[in-house]
Chains A and B, each alone.
Chain A
Amino acid sequence: MQTILRPFAIKSSGDLARLGVMLALAGLILFGALRYDNFLSSFNILSFLRYNSMFALIALGMAFVIITGGIDLSVGGTAAMASVVAALFSPYHWAAGLLGGMVAGLAVGALNGFIITKMRIQPFIATLATMLAAYGTGLLLADNQSVSVSYDTGFTVIGQDDFLGFPIPAWIALAAYVLGWLVLEKLPVGRHILAIGDGEATAGLMGLKVERTLAAVYLASGTLAGLAGVILASQFGAGQPTEGVGWELFAIASVVVGGTLLTGGSGSVGATLAGALLLAMVFNILNFENGLGWISLSAYWQSVIRGAFLLVVVVLQAKLMARR
């Protein structure tokens, strides 16, 4: 019995916060299901998953970066640039578009890793610089406008079609999260990532390969942002050099709501997914609330409400952690 329950045992304050986000997500779903008629309709669920998979992918990469004690501000710019690259490659083959976008993201991630580990620049500064560079590159490649994708090579299938009744982007995100969970919980490198976040100097003294591991984490974050860009282009039929603004903040918020400490050394893949879904769910519920017709909230008000909700969650988490 004890062994079965072990994964659910609360061993640290972080676990408690992560439990909290799961409960909040469940509560919000229950609220929506009871209040709105079509909330649990397959249309709502499928479009919710289709759209939010992009953000979930970016949040996953961000979670790894933040667990190491770093930050990756370049993900939004990277996704925008990758969507352009994917659109430009899509006429040749659907896979060319997919790989093109991912390689574009990987390149930014590799650059981030190089600047941070070899040039020893703070992640905040390094990724701020690459964010600007990525947006600029995207606009240059797209000649300052959206780039239409090819509808002949099947590239749009990636973002728009379903597989076994679920949107393909959701399958991609699910696969990424399972892989991420495997890496963090089951592979030695995951434990090393956590230990590095706990203290880089200490990790080095324990014989861990700190630089290589950090570089790999930024590489992964960039690649996931690239993948999100591919889905963006495929879903909306165009590479969008001006999209992605603020995505990094959404990702950071998801990670934090998911109970990952910004100071590093603690975090969970599952709770990050819950955090991303929770924030997206607030949006979804606000849309439904507008649909009821009693109140009409502009996009600006929605933003304010989401911000307030984020604040409430984070404060509650801090309280929960302090109590232990």
Chain B
Amino acid sequence: MLLSMQGISKAFAGVAALKAASLEVEPAEVMALVGQNGAGKSTLIKILTGVYRRDEGTIAFDGRDVDFTMPAEAQAAGIATIYQEINLAPQRSVAENIYLSREPKRFGLIDHAAMRRGAEAVLKTFNLTIDVDRPVAHFDAATRQMVAIARAVTQNARLVIMDEPTSSLDEREVAVLFETIRTLKRSGVAVIFIGHRLDELYEICDRVTIMRDGQTVAKSPMADMPKMALVRHMLGKELAAFQAMAPGEEKPERPVRLDVANAGAGVRVRDVSLTVREGEISGLAGLLGSGRTETARLIFGADNLERGTMRLAGSERTYREPADAIADGIGLVSEDRKIDGIVPDMSIRENMTLALLPRLKKAGIVDRARQDEIVTRYIRALGVKCASPDQPIKELSGGNQQKVLLARWLATDPRVLIVDEPTRGIDIGAKSEILKLLRSLADEGLSVLMISSEFEELLAAADRVTVLSDGTSVKTLPRKDLSEAALLAAMAHQVE
């Protein structure tokens, strides 16, 4: 066995990220490492490569116990990592990037000619002929990835870790990458392949390790793991903590408010069609990397639509930037509150009225009385538990932070509200509260597009669910057809 990680545990600030996780890799095999966001894949890899230190557990590489304290040590031992955001120096040349920190030297000076020759030779083994003197930034994502792999190969790596290597590649580029992986295998190099696109996993990987909630939940040869089973292992089952809140019966068809048809941009969103009617919660489901968040960004104008059309209440719209969408009454509560939502050190009052400030001005100055009125109203309406509106938002629990964010958008009086993973990182009690809130907002006429990875959430709250796979909307399930089995089947769907 080339690599054996056993009983790996790691906690950050008291919160367990890994609980006795394990991972084993044989020489010359491609091991798929899969799991939802937050399952612990990245943490496990970072512990292996010395970015983080483990709290517990053992790591044996090539028969020896190892404990890398920094990435350079793991590299020296023969473990190369190709991160999602490919870690190359963009302004340096291809040849320099391949040999950085191991430059060929003559009389103590860099031997540029030898470096150039070596770079050209190693790239040739991957059927790539490019000007190795040009900066890496001049090349497309696939070529940059090839350069990163070439760097790994010249380091005599025996294990190459690829973190979502296909996420920014088109089909032709993926084929080239897979050919490269096969070349690596033939020379005895093992690969850990972190990915989400099922078809790709089944095409290139020999075995699969599935993680969930910081634990390794399944290991199996790829061939013995049906797609349905793989998806089920990844998503797991959370106890149904909230009862179904939507009325079971089909509601009368209301007019369509948001209608997205054959939308596409780049390689992440290929062909997405979905509708959200007035006063309904429309779910958007799919595995990680299926293009859900990217679809939301398109609707919100954060990315520009390249193909397809979008209609709001019947009239066609194109947004160049989020401000256009906001002016049209579209709001987006994004997935990661900490990154693009809250301003941690500002008060609840300020966080809640951030999007609204331009409208709260009186003679150029924020009208404090109106601000107070709005803040008080929403704190009461949404049941935000806080000491006072002036409390810094970082002191609130996740669920209450989420309510403040919802209030921020509700205060702008939107017609369409997109919520991306609205209950992520929120405890179960608060989850059902947030869902109830969304439900009652919809009942008052708001159109909600809810992105969610949790089946229970979709089953409990959504009036219809559109399932995305590989950037394509593969199925729309009306309320009456919604079931876990139906969602699983749609997610594991193969594009014919």
Interface residues, chain A, CB within 8 Å of chain B? 6, 9, 11-12, 14, 182, 186-188, 191-192, 194-195, 198-199, 201-209, 265-266
Contact = CB atoms under 8 A, between A and B. Distances in A.
B103 A9 contact: no
A14 B88 CA distance: 18
Nearest to B103: A188
A198 B109 CA distance: 22
Contacts of B108: 187
Interface in B77-116: 81, 83, 87-93, 96, 100-101, 103, 105, 108-110
A205 B81 CA distance: 9
25 contacts: A11-B133, A11-B135, A12-B91, A186-B110, A188-B103, A188-B105, A188-B110, A191-B96, A191-B100, A191-B103, A192-B100, A194-B91, A194-B92, A198-B89, A198-B92, A204-B71, A205-B71, A205-B81, A206-B87, A206-B89, A206-B101, A207-B72, A208-B100, A265-B90, A265-B91
B100 A187 contact: no
B135 A12 contact: yes
Given A9-B133, A206-B101, A191 B81 contact: no
A198 B100 contact: no
A305 B75 CA distance: 53
Nearest to A205: B87
Given A186-B110, A195-B100, A206-B87, 12 more contacts: A6-B133, A11-B133, A11-B134, A188-B110, A198-B90, A203-B89, A205-B83, A205-B87, A207-B71, A208-B72, A265-B90, A266-B91
Given A187-B110, A198-B89, A192 B101 contact: yes
Contacts of B72: 207-209
A267 to B, nearest CB: 10
B100 A206 contact: yes
Contact size range, B: 20 to 34
Between B81, B87, B108, the greatest number of chain A beta carbons within 10 A of the residue's beta carbon is seen for: B87
Sort A-B residue pairs by CB-CB distance and give the 5 closest, nearest first.
A207-B72, A198-B89, A195-B89, A186-B109, A188-B103
A206 B76 CA distance: 11
Contacts of A11: 93, 133-135
User: Does more than half of chain A's interface fall in helix, strand or loop, or is it mixed?
Assistant: helix
A209 B100 CA distance: 11
A265 B110 CA distance: 19
B101 A207 contact: yes
A199 B85 CA distance: 12
Contacts of B87: 199, 201-202, 205-206
B89 A199 contact: yes
Contacts of A182: 109
Contacts of B109: 182, 186-187
Contacts of B71: 204-207
Contacts of A209: 72
A186 B51 CA distance: 31
Given A187-B109, A198-B90, A208 B134 contact: no
A201 B86 CA distance: 12
Contacts of B105: 188
A6 B133 CA distance: 10
A194 B93 contact: no
A186 B92 CA distance: 14
A192 B92 CA distance: 10
B92 A199 contact: no
